[in-house]
Amino acid sequence: MPITRKFYLTKEGLRRLRKEYEDLKRLREAKSKQEPPAILHSEDLNPEYLVFQEDLTFLEFRLAELDQILKNAQLIKTPPKGKRNIVNLGATVTLEDKDGTINEFTIVGTLEANPNEGKISSESPIGRALLGRKVGEEVVITSPIRVVYKIKKIKYQLS
């Protein structure tokens, strides 16, 4: 029996992927109604035909990928009130390093990770180190340099 991977998503992330899936289905339908370019252009393969086929192949691949993700998506939910003091998926964690620099990260699933927005994957070195921790605890992250953070605050965006 194959192991099914769960894809942890926020409501917004799930909404975005569903929209992309529906948009791509409409695009595929429109493309399949089009007359494909002729296969041959003189004695050579027509480059327009190759691009058309490549586009369809990409669409089919991405639709299959999104279908698999949506079938195995698990919504990130705010934990019960008594467990909001523990870092879990969906937590925004405020950290302080030894120099007093403050960093804030939101722990999300891999599909929504975007370090530029402060969203880090639960599977990243920092994300893995933070999961299950509480305010006041120190975490050591070694990737590629060694940094020691102290957890200053944990909050959950109530949905």
Q: What is the pLDDT of residues 9-36, one digit of tens each?
A: 999 999 999 999 999 999 999 888 877 7
- CA pair distance 55, 86, nearest whole angstrom: 45
Look up the domain containing 55 and give its range.
7-75
Range of lowest pLDDT (42-56, 82-96, 143-157):
42-56
User: Cis peptide leading into 144, omega within 30 of 0?
Assistant: yes
Q: What CATH number does residue 92 fall under?
A: 3.10.50.30
Q: Is residue 2 part of a domain?
A: no
Domain boundary residue, one of 38, 58, 75:
75
Domain boundary residue, one of 56, 75, 94:
75
What percent of the chain shows pLDDT beyond 90? Answer: 72
**pLDDT above 90 for 39:** no
Inter-residue contact 91 to 156 (CB < 8 Å): yes
Total of domains in the chain: 2
Domain boundary residue, one of 46, 75, 104:
75
Amino acid at 108: V
Other Cβ atoms within 10 Å of 25 Cβ, number: 14
pTM of the model as a whole: 0.80
